[in-house]
Structure 1
Amino acid sequence: MQRLLAALCVSTILTTPAAWAQDNQTGQDADADSGEIIVTAQRRAERLIDVPISISALSGNALEQAGIRSTEDLTAVIPGLNFATNGAFAQPTVRGIGTTVTSAGNDANVAIYIDGVYQPNQIANFSDLVDLEQVEVLKGPQGTLFGRNATGGAIRVTTKRPSFTPEARLTASYGRFDDVRLTAFGTAPLSDKIAVSFAFLYGDDQGYVRNIGTGNRVADSNAMSVRGKILLQPTDRLEFILTASRSERSANPAFTLGVLNGNSNALRLPGSLQPVGPRQVSLSFDPTITVDSDQVSLNATADLGFAELSSITSYAKIVTDLVTDVDRTNLALVQAQVPGRQETWSQELNLVSQGDGPVKWFVGAFYYNDDSTNATIVNNGAVFNTIRQKTEAFAPFGEINVELGDLTLIAGARYNIEKKDYSIVRGPAAVLREQTFKTFTPRVGLRYAVSPNASVYGTFSKGFKSGGFDGILAAGALAVNPVFPEKVDAYELGFKFGKGRTSLSAAGFYYDYSNIQFQAFNPNAGGLTQVFNAAAAEIYGGEIEGSVEIATGFLIRGSVAYTRSKYKNFPGATIFCPRGAPAFGNASIPIGAINPCDGQRNLAGATGGELIRTPEFTASFGPSYRHEFADSGALDLSANAFYSGRFFWDPANRLEQPSYVLINAELGYTFPSQNLKVALWGRNLANELYSLYVTEAAAGDSIAYARPRTYGIRAELQF
């Protein structure tokens, strides 16, 4: 509790106004005149300042002005979020809580929702943001509100809904590296009870890295997505929205891996070509990450008077294929292909009270059925490994808020039941396992309304990430070990203020994080990676964010976050030391042995180290200015600067990402007709060199660098 209070003091001392909350209009329920921020984090539309959860909420306009085009870009505008890449896998980390697990059926521990539908596939969760209405990032465990795999928090993406007012928007953008991006959105009524909408995105670029092994440009991406919605309102108390989408994405920046600091046991073999600089790699082929996704969902709501009943039914089929050059050289030594397939059904029911009475409540139930498979094929040969994991989960949940004057009492709970069926086939060996995991995740808290525009709150909540299995080679035989759920106990104190276009929020938190699931190279597991319950950790810190309009049309937004993390107990971490010449690669240092890299005896693995992908300090600053001319034309200037302190990619804290600053900016002119806008944009304008993904193994260390300075022009047509 002392550290929680200290963290809150730190966050409130940081006086930079900040809330990458939203721009002056947020979502369809926002008050366009007051700039009031409306969120649905507690299953009902509420003012952000009334919700006792640390939330960052951003509108589509605010994201566009900040140069945010995809989910991984959210790092630059959300304090405490690192939307990390683990190869082809999206693994967002919030306040130090993230995952490294990538095997079939094992989800990330920051849950992602699109229009209320849970998105479990880590490979498919790198998505372009199109027809976007709003993004809400809920920080801290959301075990009661969003249940499974929300240990670190939840990211809720809301896209535009069909409207009975016709609207259309077309954009075309061209930038460095032949970056072409086309988007379209349109909505119109078909009758007085039916409206439809359609969204389209096409993106393509030629890559920013040269593969000297093939002579081609790599680290490129290609994406196409379509989404259609039908809104049916048969009465003023009943509504249905049917959504269908398809996306195809091929992008390989995270697999465009070069050798870090020359540490590779294959780089010096005869015939190996040596890349020069960070924008070259030497691979025997161009790696690929492809994702085909089809999803359909039906959202239904019924106004019962005393409460609103809602239902979300969804189905998704996602097919993936990953091909990577394991040895990181132009020599055809080791190629790995990982094809995968995932089918998911889910059903959620919610009953949410209505009215202005002193008691507000909701109850719900969630059902989830998932079938995930992936295989590993080495050097285009026989299938080395096939894993299939089926998950069936059910969870009832509910929460009640009782207002006693200015004080609100909060109590909620969720009971999670998950059955996992796991099978692994490796050569002639096959093993099947099943297990049921049950977890209770409560939430309690107090909220006090200091004024109509300000509140303070304190909460305690629990979160969990579902368990699973891992198949390894042990003593030459195939064995399957259970991986138990990871859990977190979270304490948070916070303050919120909002009036007009001025907002301020501060929060301090303390997490006791246990049974952490970790995936890492294990020299005792047949030379492969292994998933295991690795560690316990302690995390505490504070954040402040807000916005202020200092003059008409001149808005400033920003954030500062401090996160202190430590592995309290991680003796099982693999500790590597680079061998150096002539062998190169990494030597694994067992417990009790002297580590030649630092001369110290390895007594406790990574115990005492900082959690991976968790910078101690991050900050963002985003001014925007709009000047309207007498002829109805308008000039828009916006920028966003993001600072990340140094962090580590490995639990031993050997692979460091130094601190860096990203600067994005945009200058746009809207013509007097208000139908056409032309904008010049730039991203990473300081041309910072920083890592997108870093990984270690016995063979050496590998790195993929993020995109350098890019710039271009965009035209928008609205009518």
Structure 2
Amino acid sequence: MKKAAFRTSASAIGIIGLVAFSSVPALAQASADTGAQAAEDTSNDEGLIIVTAQRRSEAQVDVPITITTLNTQQLETANVQQLTDIAKITPALRFDRQSQFVQPSIRGIGTGITTAGGGSNVGIYIDGFYSPNPAAANFSLMNVDSIQVLKGPQGTLFGRNTTGGAILLQTSEPSYEPNAQAKIRYGRFNQVQAQAYSTYGLSDRVAFDIEGLFAHGDAFQRNIATGERDRSYRNWSVRLGFKADITDTVSALLRYQHNEVRDPRSELTNTFVDPDLGATAATFAPPSSYTTAKNFYAPGADHRFFASNQDIVQLTIKADLGFADLASYTQYRQENNNASEDLDHISLTLFQLGLPVINKTWTQEFLLTSKPGTPLQWTAGLFYFKNTDRYITYIDNGVGLGGDRILLGGSAAPTYSYAAFLDATYEINPQFFVTAGLRYAHDAVKNAYWNERFSTARNYVDDVSGNRVTPRVVLRYKPSERSSIYASYTKGYKAAIIDVGGSCQNAPFICGNVKPETIDAYEVGFKYDTRAFSFDTSAYYYNYKNLQVSLFREATAQIVNAASSEIYGLEAALRYKVSEAFELSMGANYNHGRYKKFVNAPIYLRCPDVAGCGSGASFFISTGTTLRDVHMQRSPDFTGNIGALYKTDLAGGELALSGNLYYTSKIFLSPSGTQFPQKAYETLSLRAQWTDPSDKYTVALWGENVTNSRFATQVQYNNYGIGSTWSEPVTYGIEVGAKF
């Protein structure tokens, strides 16, 4: 095992080295500025922020959607390393976990569902490609130019499963001008991360790039049996790009990416303490078998893990047709995930669940966009999506002791979607604009099946299909070139589910067909943007129906339509460049997210207090209660952040001091919205970076969670026990970078 780990590390480090030095022959010709103007990556010549929220490049001030846009400088100064880190600089955005599954939510709209065909409520797009797998929703950021967080339903332009919004990442394309950059950081808990990027033009029409990343460290949690930090993580990835300008009007970009993750931290749970239920360990668990301390975990058979292998191939073809621009996005993703989690969260091995997930995704999208400069600006597209995610469940009780996995069950729900859409904005006069859009989609779940317990026999269920139309209408008024006022109506939906992972496998073995969620959203907003100052504010109201809710029964997650909700709120963000040396940014969101009526809400009760507990169960899920006007799951009333950046000359170079303070109010992590509370907390990120006079080398000191806030990053609830993982305590370290 140690030799294999060493070979993996050596291979990953070798890739980093290859990337770092692959452009050495060309460094003499390299441009001195390799994108040094990071603060203006997303701005045009007039200083206006440019976004692609309507599938075409436009000034953000002219886009009638609430958007948080993050450029490379903002990501760097806030110490953003992974996608989930952007929540601390994006009001109303959260990333929660359920074991290995990362679940984003925007303005209270998210999901706790982990099942075949389940999906997310927030669409993640990388370079225009949809990434639907929640087990792959958190990843290290590689050479990102910008991130746009679109808030509110995006059903017209981005389709199914974007009821909460969408996150758009744009990375750098291969450049004909050779350049390279690398950085390495070291931090508390032996955190090491090395990253390198290189690009080179083979001719004036062909260029390639390569990027590698390696990360390793220790989990902060200690084993209660030994008192040691005995679990570590090791992740690496490599990404290759090949770009060719085939003609003056046609270009192609082919990318391949491979990621490997070996990270048990999401599985190192301890026993959650609830104000009403107390310490939520198994009913008969002796005190020595569990811990409620945030920095410890109960080891059990010590076989908890999460591993993932991902291979992604993407082809982008762009063509100038004269009257419009055409883009084709072709993608294949294969993501093999494997996990083992302790459902009782104590050192006694009651139920260790193995959960491999095999995910394959094919997408094809054609996008046609109008040329700028005409009164009618439009976007039209066709979209095809196929996703097969096979879930397999095992009893892993004996694996840590040298035994084999015992097959428990499994399920699969192949999902298909075909869509066509058109969205257009017409300039009535220089001050008044009207936007109208419509998307037609046909969704289907075909050949779904579930496995009988302890058998590979497949029980196929009837197909489910449906058609959806999601319109969008906007009125916009421009008081000046730098400002905009809008009012919009949009509709979104989250696709139907066949509950092959839950109700199918439990008595009376009748599969539940889970209806689509639907949302009607109304928003008014004001935007103002200049080179030195920008300000956005909006007010919104959502009518949200048929929420898909996850209950945990007998080692399976059962999905039901249970609740309708009402959401309304206010949001504001500003950026002020006080001087060339000092810049401020802040954002805040007030969100009133409530279940209006939640029939048969899941309430967790201790087994000694109620009848009907199953064998070995410690908690009983009562569904006989109807809740009204209670908090939605994971929906804080208030989130906000304030950041600052100050630059000054030092030793011939430049010293940049930055910090970001994030705050969120209380949330409830239970599906009912009434249990498992997490109190309000704040986190503080700090960074001090010095850049040498040549602008090629940097040294930075950084600190994360400087307030040392301890908050639950997940609560895993089921019949056997209720566990939690917690935020890392304060971490700090050093980073060194170079670019050529």
TM-score under structure 1 length normalisation: 0.91
- What letter is aligned with 2:239? R
Asked if 1:704 is matched to 2:704, the reply is: no
Look up the equivalent residue of 2:521 and give its one-letter code: A
What is the aligned counterpart of 2:469 among 428, 436, 440?
440
Answer with 299-308 or 208-217: which moved more.
Answer: 208-217
| Corresponding residue number in structure 1 for 2:343 | 326
Which residue of 1 is the match for residue 299 of structure 2? 283
Mind listing any 5+ residue stretches in structure 1 that lack a counterpart? Answer: 1-22, 592-601
The CA deviation string for residues 239-283 of structure 1, in whole angstroms up to 9 with x for no partner, is 111111011112222221111125345375359434362111112
Of 396, 406, 411, which residue of structure 1 is paired with 2:436? 411
Aligned mates of 1:110, 1:177 — CA distance in 2: 32
Cα distance in structure 1, aligned partners of 2:193 and 2:692: 22
**Alpha-carbon distance change, 489 to 317 in structure 1, aligned in 2, over 3 angstroms:** same
Tell me the residue number matched to 1:489: 520
User: Residue in 2 aligned with 1:127?
Assistant: 139
1:13 matched residue in structure 2 = none
Structure 2 SS opposite 1:708: coil
Distance 1:462 1:351 in 2: 22
Aligned partners of 1:456 and 1:171: how far apart in 2? 42
The CA distance in 1 between the partners of 2:85 and 2:539, in whole Å, is 25
| 1:114 match | 126
Q: SS of the residue aligned with 2:631?
A: coil
Q: Rate the CA distance shift 1:276–1:53 in 2: closer, same or farther, 3 A.
A: closer
Q: Which residue of 2 aligns with 1:17?
A: none
From 429, 451, 461, the counterpart of 1:425? 451
The count of residues paired between Structure 1 and Structure 2 equals 680
Pairing of 1:120-199 with structure 2 (within 5 A)? 120-199=132-211
CA shift for structure 1 position 98? 0.3
Partner amino acid for 1:228? L
Indicate yes or no: 2:54 matched with 1:30.
Answer: no
Confirm or deny that 1:469 pairs with 2:495.
no
Is residue 2:667 matched to residue 1:654? Answer: no
Alignment map for 1:610-649 (pairs within 5 Å): 610-629=631-650, 632-649=652-669
For the residues of structure 2 that align with 1:475 and 1:224, how far apart are their CA atoms? Answer: 39
Query: What is the Cα-based RMSD across aligned positions, in Å?
Result: 2.1
Where does 1:511-660 land on structure 2 (aligned, <5 Å)? 511-522=542-553, 528-578=556-606, 585-591=618-624, 602=625, 604=626, 606-629=627-650, 632-650=652-670, 651-660=672-681
Tell me the equivalent position of 1:695: 716
Q: Does 1:48 align with 2:60?
A: yes
Q: What is the rounded CA distance, in whole Å, between the counterparts of 2:421 and 2:609 in structure 1?
A: 58
Cα distance in structure 1, aligned partners of 2:493 and 2:423: 18
Residues 351-397 of structure 1 show CA distances to partners (whole Å, capped at 9, x for unaligned) of 11103111111211001112210110013443111111111210000
Q: 1:299 matched to which residue of 2? A: 316
* 1:322-355, Cα deviation, whole Å (9 max, x unpaired): 1011111112221110111111111000111103
Q: Secondary structure at the match of 2:73?
A: helix
| Deviates most, 634-643 or 370-379 | 370-379
Structure 1 position 196, deviation (Å): 1.2
Does 1:382 pair with 2:406?
Answer: yes
Inter-partner Cα distance in structure 1 for 2:147 and 2:517 = 26
User: Is the CA contact (8 Å cut-off) linking 1:241 and 1:299 kept in structure 2?
Assistant: yes
- Matched residues in 2 for 1:24 and 1:218: separation? 43
Query: What CA distance in whole angstroms lies between the structure 1 residues aligned with 2:464 and 2:251?
Result: 39
**Secondary structure, counterpart of 2:728 in structure 1:** coil
CA distance in 2, matches of 1:590, 1:121: 29
Secondary structure of the residue aligned to 2:76 is helix
Structure 2 distance, partners of 1:680, 1:611, is: 39
In structure 2, do the counterparts of structure 1 residues 535 and 673 end up closer, same or farther at CA, with 3 Å as the change threshold? Answer: same
User: Does the 8 Å contact 1:521/1:574 carry over to 2?
Assistant: no
Residue pairs, 1:445-456, within 5 angstroms: 445-456=474-485
Cross-structure match for 2:83:
71
Structure 2: how far apart are the matches of 1:497 and 1:320? Answer: 45
Q: Distance in 1 between matches of 2:655 and 2:738?
A: 16
Q: Which amino acid aligns with 2:435?
A: I
Structure 2 distance, partners of 1:445, 1:639, is 37
Superposed CA offset, 1:505-564 (max 9, x none): 001110000011111125xxx574310111110000011001001122200001011000
* Residues 67, 475 of structure 1: alpha-carbon distance in 2 compared, 3 angstrom cutoff: closer
Structure 2 residue 486 is matched with structure 1 residue 457: yes
* 1:664-708 residue CA offsets vs partner (Å, 9 max, x unmatched): 000011112221110000000010111110133333322110111
C-alpha displacement of 1:61 = 2.0
Decide whether the 8 Å contact of 2:279 with 2:292 is kept in 1: no
How much has 1:607 moved relative to structure 2? 2.6
Distance in 2 of aligned mates of 1:137 and 1:82: 12
CA–CA distance in structure 1, aligned partners of residues 106 and 621 of structure 2 = 30
Structure with more relative contact order (C-alpha pairs < 8 Å, separation 6 or more): 1
Say whether the 8 Å CA contact 2:270–2:292 is kept in structure 1: no
* Cα separation, 2, equivalents of 1:351 and 1:434: 33
Contact 1:263–1:700 under 8 Å retained in 2: no
Go from structure 1 to structure 2 and tell me whether the alpha carbon gap of 1:538 and 1:24 turns closer, same or farther (over 3 Å shift).
farther
| 1:621-668 deviation line (CA, Å, top 9, x unaligned) | 000011135x64110101000001111101241211100010000001
More displaced 10-residue stretch of structure 1: 638-647 or 82-91 = 82-91
Aligned to 1:263: 279
Cα distance in structure 1, aligned partners of 2:124 and 2:290:
40
Cα shift at 1:106: 1.6
Measured in 2, the distance between the counterparts of 1:296 and 1:431 equals 31
CA distance in 2, matches of 1:312, 1:208: 41
Could you say if the C-alpha distance between residues 635 and 576 of structure 1 is closer, same or farther in structure 2, counting changes exceeding 3 Å?
same
Partners of 2:46 and 2:550 lie apart in 1 by: 48
Distance in 2 (CA, whole Å) between partners of 1:402 and 1:442 is 16
Amino acid in structure 1 at the alignment position of 2:619: N
CA distance in structure 2 between the partners assigned to 1:288 and 1:501 by the alignment: 48
Change (3 A) 1:675 1:632: same
Could you tell me how far apart the structure 1 residues matched to 2:525 and 2:231 are?
A: 41
Q: Residue 705 of structure 2 contacts residue 730 of structure 2 at CA under 8 Å; is this kept in 1?
A: yes
DSSP-derived class of the 1:568 partner: strand
Q: 1:527 to 1:220 in 2, by over 3 A?
A: closer
Are the equivalent residues in 2 in contact too, given 1:578–1:700 (CA < 8 A)?
Answer: no
Distance 2:617 2:511 in 1: 32
Shift of 1:88: 1.1
State which of 366, 373, 396 in structure 2 corresponds to 1:356: 373
Would you say 1:396 and 2:420 are equivalent positions? yes
Contact map agreement 2:181 2:737 (CA 8 A) in 1: yes
* 8 Å contact kept, 2:632–2:673: no
Percentage identity across paired residues of the two chains: 32
What secondary structure is seen at the aligned counterpart in 2 of 1:76? helix
Contact 1:431/1:478 (8 A) holds in 2: no
**Structure 2: segments with no counterpart, 5+ residues:** 1-35, 398-403, 611-615
Distance 1:177 1:691 in 2: 19
* 3-state SS of paired residue (1:235): coil
Distance across 2 between alignment mates of 1:575 and 1:271: 25
Would the alpha carbon gap of residues 475 and 618 (structure 1) be closer, same or farther in structure 2, given more than 3 Å must change? Answer: closer
